[in-house]
Structure 1
Amino acid sequence: MKLTINPKYARLRGFTESLPRIFPTSTGGKTLYEGRNIVKLYTQNGQRITVKSYGHLTLFNRLIYGSLRKSKAERAFRHAIRLQCLGIDTPEAIASLEIRRFGMLRDSYFVSAYTDYLPVSDITASFPQNPDSQNMLDQLVGFLVELHRTGVYHRDLHIGNILYRCDTRGNCRFQLIDTNRMTFHHRLSQRRRIENLRRLACETDAYLYILKRYAEATGADTHSFQLRGVLLRLFLEAWHHLRHKIKMAFRAIRPGGRTDSAIAER
């Protein structure tokens, strides 16, 4: 067991160390999300805590994460701390926990403070019908510009991984989540910035507006910036579609996988 804990939350050491035992059960936790990874909400001494368990790993990845590379949980923990040092808001990191067996990573958990911020996808989905959405998107663009100005390249900059909260006067704050896949640089080129923005995967109207306002905020040519952003997004979507088809084909022919005839019978 390898535990990395924020000294501010040393009182939660016992709880964190108990995760391999309590997380697979329903003991005291509420499931917020369940897919490849599982996210649960716990309450400890009146404080709400989010725990993310990273999905089952292949044998190859167990070996890699067990010896050559930091686990997703540890990277999420360290990146969250670094983001806050850079002035980029993210739920406060509490701890990361890794469970190894025979030198291979078996399970890993990232523990953070709970956030009640909402997904930015609520804003992009209502644009331009909602009269308040334009002001919110303008503030989102300011957040993205600042994110890139500090040299942060979030490899999962999906619109669902940006959260927001606005006060009664319409001033919004934003947070980043899913922080395990990111890199930090002294400076990001315009090409790298556009490549990063293409991952937003939001509605077309909102995406074009974000590109336009981002270009204006950074002094780039608006039409060229939008065109490159659209083309890069189309290429990314085509690649994801192709990769999905390859995965499905592989699963159909591997031992234990479903064949086309088996699928057709269902």
Structure 2
Amino acid sequence: MQIIIHPQYIHQENSILQLVAGFFVEGDLIVKGSRNTIKSNILGDEKVNIKFFDKPGLLKSIIYSFFRSTKAKRSFDYANYLLAHNIPTPFPIAYIENRNRFGLLGDSYYICQQIDYDFTIRELIHDPLFGERNVILEQFTAFTYKMHEGKVNFLDHSPGNTLVVKKDSGKYDFYLIDLNRMKFEDLSIEARMDNFKKMWLSKTMVKVVAKAYAKLSNQSEEKLHAILLEKTTQFKRKITKKKYLKRKIGKK
């Protein structure tokens, strides 16, 4: 077992290990996936989330063991990078990796603080009558712009991966989650617009995002609108085609 703990939590190492040891019998279930499970529990006097990554297949185990960082390590490292660049994400507490005697990765865990959020961007996207929809979308665009300026290309920048906390007087805070797929690089304006494509924006929302991003970046609103609309439309067509083919294959 390898355990890496943030310096602020090093004094709670035993408690962290106890949470991991009791993961399958304690805590409140948040997400149960085919390979990953997320639970909430109590560490000291605060709520934390524990994400369990199941043992990968042999090929991926070799890759994660010797050639690429594990999902748990990436989650921890990327969270620290984001916070260092003032991009909010749940505070990273620790990650744990279990390996066999040959050094091959087994299961792993990522522990972070829990954010008591009000909604995700998904609710906003799917509800045209969502309160202060355009205000939130403009602030979310500013949040994404800040992320891009920090050289963060969040490959899973999709509606469910941004938590939203409502503050006073129409102000909102945003937190990135599910962090293990990122690149850190300078992004061209095309790449920045491409990063919005998984948000599944309507044509009306594309206008709002393009206008807000143009003000922040000193780019032409018309140019950004054209690029963003093209990227969004292409992505929707691709996903729609995939779903159609799956249904056709399933009927055979």
The equivalent of 2:149 in structure 1 is 149
Paired residue type of 2:31: Y
Tell me if structure 2 keeps the 8 A contact 1:125–1:203.
Answer: no
Q: Compute the displacement of 1:243 (Å).
A: 6.4
Q: How does 1:14-163 map to 2 (within 5 A)?
A: 14-18=14-18, 21-23=21-23, 25-27=24-26, 29-36=27-34, 37-101=36-100, 102-117=102-117, 118-127=119-128, 129-163=129-163
Separation in structure 2 between the aligned mates of residue 60 and residue 242 of structure 1, nearest angstrom: 30
Q: Compute the displacement of 1:123 (Å).
A: 2.7
Deviations 1:204-254 (A, max 9, x none): 5334422332234323232332232232233334445666789999xx9xx
The equivalent of 2:188 in structure 1 is 189
Moved over 6 A (4+): 242-249
The equivalent of 1:257 in structure 2 is none
Separation in structure 2 between the aligned mates of residue 199 and residue 207 of structure 1, nearest angstrom: 12
Alpha carbons of 1:248 and 1:65: their partners in 2 closer, same or farther (altered >3 Å)? farther
Q: Which runs of 5+ in 2 are unaligned?
A: none
Tell me if structure 2 keeps the 8 A contact 1:79–1:180.
Answer: yes
Deviations 1:63-119 (A, max 9, x none): 100111110100110110111110111110000111111321111111000101231
Tell me if structure 1 keeps the 8 A contact 2:16–2:43.
Answer: no
Query: Sequence identity, in percent?
Result: 25
Deviations 1:32-54 (A, max 9, x none): 01114211001122211100112
Paired residue type of 2:124: I
Tell me if structure 1 keeps the 8 A contact 2:166–2:173.
Answer: yes
Paired residue type of 2:234: F
Number of aligned residue pairs: 249
Tell me if structure 2 keeps the 8 A contact 1:92–1:112.
Answer: yes
Separation in structure 2 between the aligned mates of residue 56 and residue 72 of structure 1, nearest angstrom: 11
Q: What is the SS of the residue equivalent to 1:141?
A: helix
Separation in structure 1 between the aligned mates of residue 55 and residue 121 of structure 2, nearest angstrom: 28
Q: Compute the displacement of 1:144 (Å).
A: 1.2
Separation in structure 2 between the aligned mates of residue 197 and residue 230 of structure 1, nearest angstrom: 10
* TM value normalised by structure 1: 0.83
Farther off after superposition, 116-125 or 66-75:
116-125
Q: Compute the displacement of 1:121 (Å).
A: 2.2
Separation in structure 1 between the aligned mates of residue 25 and residue 91 of structure 2, nearest angstrom: 24
Q: Which runs of 5+ in 1 are unaligned?
A: 253-259
Separation in structure 2 between the aligned mates of residue 160 and residue 38 of structure 1, nearest angstrom: 16
Q: How does 1:174-185 map to 2 (within 5 A)?
A: 174-185=174-185
Q: Compute the displacement of 1:11 (Å).
A: 3.0
Paired residue type of 2:8: K
* TM value normalised by structure 2: 0.87
The equivalent of 1:210 in structure 2 is 209
Structure 2 residue 8 is matched with structure 1 residue 8: yes
The equivalent of 1:230 in structure 2 is 229
Q: Compute the displacement of 1:195 (Å).
A: 1.6
Q: Compute the displacement of 1:20 (Å).
A: 5.3
Farther off after superposition, 105-114 or 157-166:
157-166
Alpha carbons of 1:83 and 1:47: their partners in 2 closer, same or farther (altered >3 Å)? same
Q: What is the SS of the residue equivalent to 2:83?
A: helix
